[in-house]
Amino acid sequence: MADPNDEPLSLLTRMTSTMSMGHTPEARVLIVMTGGTICMQKSPNGLVPARNFLERCMAPRPEFNDGEPHEPIEVRFHDGADGMGELHSLRTPTSVYGKRIRYAVLEFEELLDSSSIDSKGWAEIAQTIFRNYRLFDGFVVLHGTDSLAYTCSALSFMLQNLGKPVIVTGSQVPFSERKNDALENLLDSMDIAGHFMVPEVCLCFNSTLFRGNRTTKISASAFDAFASPNLPPLATITAMDTHVAWNLVTRSTILQPFSIQKDLHIHYVACLRIFPGIKPKMVEAVLRTEDLRGLVLETFGAGNAPSGHDNKLTQVIAEAVQRGIVIVNITQCLTGSVNPLYAPGMVLGRAGVVAGGDMTTEAALTKLSYLLALPGATQESVAKDMARSIRGELTENAGTIFSHPTGELSSPITQLTAIAYAIASGDIEKVKDLLHNDNQLINRADYSGNAPIHLAATGPSLAVLRFLLRLGASVHLRNHTGSGRTPLFLAANAGLLPHVMLLRQAGAHLHAEELDTARLHASQRPEIWNATGLEGT
Ligand code: ASN
């Protein structure tokens, strides 16, 4: 069967391999509707958000609806015992990748024009994803474009150790208009969320998938509304193919389950754009704002601010740093990075201003708010983390994490076979040797849908399993057996308790479609199946 996480296959190959299959697996995607032009309708007061997006826009279209009646799908609306409920679900026709996507739309109580979103709205999105994390394979967030880059950036920090795709999109023209970009953007986003293991917060727009925290809105009217000036797209979608730049995709390598930081201190930060002739008093007035804890300073070029004949501006800034405010230097330029190339930039650095590298303002502001909100945050810890990449939001000087492997690769299938042998014999040195510096193979599946993690989940060596997890192996990939088995299911089925525990530590859970079979097995071997977290589902 063709798997989009495998190497590229032609469209024709995919179609024929899909047709030869009997059972068509389903991916579950939750669409979270927050508002924005995509759902808007005309009113006497201009465009306003409208409800019932699934029934109004998606159900009548064959791209989104295979026409069969479907059971409602389980969704968690709130925390607590009475938080579970159901939503009307639809299913797409089978894709070229041989999967159908079953989905529901969860609409927020208040649908917003995104110019009005703030940290409360971001918390609501993060909590919705957290509550429904186990029930879905991926998430699509529908949002207005005005503050979309801010929301993507904020979510990328709030969602910690994310292991599933969260694709944020919107449109420049409402879905209800005859000529629009909503249909394309939504279809692409659902395809990515349902087929590709890109466990990041991404922005999908105009046939392009970007890392969310690298984006900025560059046009108020063009379909090509977003850019990622300092990082190439994570994927491009053409009529022929979706080409994922797997070497750019980041994955959590910390063995901790998914969690969220739902409070951002956005009310304690500010952003100030330096301009020629700006008065130090003006900067000081901002820096004296009550409760201010962080400032993003948009400077010229490689990070330069006017020095002035009396150095007053630098003095004002240095004093604010001494009072405990974290000041981050971001360039006004669209591309390039802040670095101490020129004397004025160096002076700012000496005054205690953190160089923000090539971060966008959107990323810098939301990251600062996130770090300031972390328990135990200090001025030093925040300043230190602002200067390094925590979610791929800035390019670190070492530049090694995104580099391509050197030398010629033999075919991925040959390599996967070699890896499979090394895993089966518990040869950690060999596994390290084969996978090192090549993060493109880590989540790649063979013809039976087994990625290295599936093999290690039932392999003889716990050390190999740990090594793969630390390299960013996804615990949510499903192979092609049954309804699609996760590594956790396979480890429990093989009776390997230590493997089960390690996978759980790394955030693994059973897939919704595995639960019935798991419950059957649990009656025979409760100790091991209960360790999968089955009881808590
Ligand atoms: N004002 C709209 C919003 O951000 C713009 C859009 O979605 N195209 O909600």
- The model's pLDDT over 370-400, given as tens digits with 9 standing for 90+, comes to 999 999 999 999 999 999 999 999 998 633 3
Query: Does the pLDDT value for residue 480 go beyond 80?
Result: yes
Distance 176 CA to ligand 1 centre (A): 14
pLDDT of 282 reads 96
pLDDT bracket for residue 311 (50, 70, 90): confident
Measured between alpha carbons, how far is 445 from 253 in angstroms, rounded to an integer?
Answer: 19
pLDDT of 4 reads 60
Do the domains 268-386 and 8-77+84-253 match in fold? yes
- Of all residues in the chain, what percent are helix, strand and coil, respectively (each to 5)? 35, 20, 45
**Ligand 1, closest atom to CA 35?**
9
Query: CATH: 2.60.40.10, 3.40.109.10, 3.40.50.40, 3.10.105.10. Which one for 268-386?
Result: 3.40.50.40
Ligand 1: does its nearest atom lie under 6 Å from the Cβ of 172?
Answer: yes
Query: Given ligand 1 and candidates 33, 111, 113, which is best to mutate, with the most ligand atoms within 8 Å of its CB?
Result: 113
- Judge whether 141 and 168 are in contact, CB under 8 Å: yes
Query: Does the pLDDT value for residue 10 go beyond 80?
Result: no
3-class state of residue 299 by DSSP: strand
pLDDT of 332 reads 96
What percentage of the chain exceeds 70 in pLDDT? 90
DSSP track, 39-73:
GEEEETTEEEE-S-HIIIIITT-TTT--S-----E
By CB neighbour count within 10 A (0-12 exposed, 13-18 middle, 19+ buried), where does 380 fall?
exposed
Query: Does the pLDDT value for residue 272 go beyond 60?
Result: yes
Those residues whose C-beta lies under 8 Å from the C-beta of residue 502, and which sit 6 or more positions away, are 255, 462, 465, 466, 469
pLDDT bracket for residue 19 (50, 70, 90): very low
Ligand 1: does its nearest atom lie under 6 Å from the Cβ of 36?
Answer: yes
**Ligand 1, closest atom to CA 49?**
9
pLDDT bracket for residue 343 (50, 70, 90): low
pLDDT of 398 reads 37
Q: CA 184, 185, 188, 189 torsion: positive or negative? A: negative
Express each pLDDT in 429-463 by its tens digit. Answer: 988 988 876 667 888 887 778 899 999 999 999 99
What percentage of the chain exceeds 90 in pLDDT? 73
**Angle subtended at Cα 36 by Cα 34 and Cα 42, rounded to the nearest 5 degrees:** 125
What's this model's pTM, rounded to 2 decimal places? 0.86
Instruction: Tell me the pairing of strands 259-260 and 159-160.
Output: antiparallel
Ligand 1: does its nearest atom lie under 6 Å from the Cβ of 121?
Answer: no
Q: Per CATH, is 412-536 categorized as 1.25.40.20?
A: yes
Looking at 445-514, list the stretches that DSSP marks H as alpha helix, in order from N- to C-terminal side: 452-457, 462-470, 487-493, 497-505
Measured between alpha carbons, how far is 59 from 49 in angstroms, rounded to an integer?
Answer: 18
Lowest mean pLDDT among 68-72, 204-208, 339-343: 339-343
pLDDT bracket for residue 402 (50, 70, 90): very low
Q: Using alpha carbons, select from 64, 60, 84, 61 the residue that is nearest to residue 74.
A: 84
Max alpha carbon distance in the chain (Å)?
81
Helix (H) or strand (E) run with residue 105 in it: strand 100-112
Measured between alpha carbons, how far is 387 from 357 in angstroms, rounded to an integer?
Answer: 7
The CATH number that domain 8-77+84-253 falls under is 3.40.50.1170
Domain boundaries, the chain: 8-77+84-253, 268-386, 412-536
Express each pLDDT in 21-56 by its tens digit. Answer: 446 679 999 999 999 999 999 999 889 999 999 999
By CB neighbour count within 10 A (0-12 exposed, 13-18 middle, 19+ buried), where does 87 fall?
middle
In the predicted model, what is the mean pLDDT of residues 231-252?
Answer: 92
Ligand 1: does its nearest atom lie under 6 Å from the Cβ of 115?
Answer: yes
DSSP track, 229-278:
TTS--SEEE-SS-EEE-TTT-----SS---EE-----GGGEEEEE--TT-
Ligand 1: does its nearest atom lie under 6 Å from the Cβ of 114?
Answer: yes
Q: Using alpha carbons, select from 374, 360, 395 the residue that is nearest to residue 160.
A: 374
In the predicted model, what is the mean pLDDT of residues 491-502?
Answer: 94
pLDDT of 306 reads 87
- Judge whether 127 and 260 are in contact, CB under 8 Å: yes
What type of residue sits at position 295?
A: L
Q: How far is CA 286 from CA 253, 301, 303, 437, in A?
A: 39, 22, 19, 46
Distance 338 CA to ligand 1 centre (A): 31
pLDDT of 394 reads 95
pLDDT bracket for residue 537 (50, 70, 90): low
**Ligand 1, closest atom to CA 146?**
4
pLDDT bracket for residue 406 (50, 70, 90): very low
Query: Does the pLDDT value for residue 120 go beyond 50?
Result: yes
Choosing from 34, 37, 208, 361, which is the catalytic residue?
Answer: 37
Is 395 a catalytic site residue?
Answer: no
Nearest residue CA, atom 7 of ligand 1?
A: 144
Measured between alpha carbons, how far is 70 from 53 in angstroms, rounded to an integer?
Answer: 17
Query: Does the pLDDT value for residue 403 go beyond 80?
Result: no
Direct distance between the N- and C-terminal alpha carbons of the chain, in angstroms, rounded to an integer: 30
DSSP track, 308-369:
-TT-HHHHHHHHHHHTT-EEEEEESSSSS---TTSHHHHHHHHTTPEE-TT--HHHHHHHHH
**Ligand 1, closest atom to CA 225?**
8
pLDDT bracket for residue 17 (50, 70, 90): very low
Distance 431 CA to ligand 1 centre (A): 48
**Ligand 1, closest atom to CA 172?**
8
Distance 157 CA to ligand 1 centre (A): 23
User: Residue 129: how many CB atoms within 10 A of its CB?
Assistant: 23
Query: Does the pLDDT value for residue 309 go beyond 70?
Result: no
Ligand 1: does its nearest atom lie under 6 Å from the Cβ of 331?
Answer: no
Distance 40 CA to ligand 1 centre (A): 9
Lowest mean pLDDT among 121-135, 183-197, 416-430: 416-430
pLDDT of 438 reads 65
pLDDT of 6 reads 52
- Average confidence score pLDDT of the chain: 89
**Angle subtended at Cα 319 by Cα 314 and Cα 322, rounded to the nearest 5 degrees:** 130
pLDDT of 339 reads 77
Measured between alpha carbons, how far is 42 from 44 in angstroms, rounded to an integer?
Answer: 7
Express each pLDDT in 149-199 by its tens digit. Answer: 999 999 999 999 999 999 999 999 999 999 999 999 999 999 999 999 999
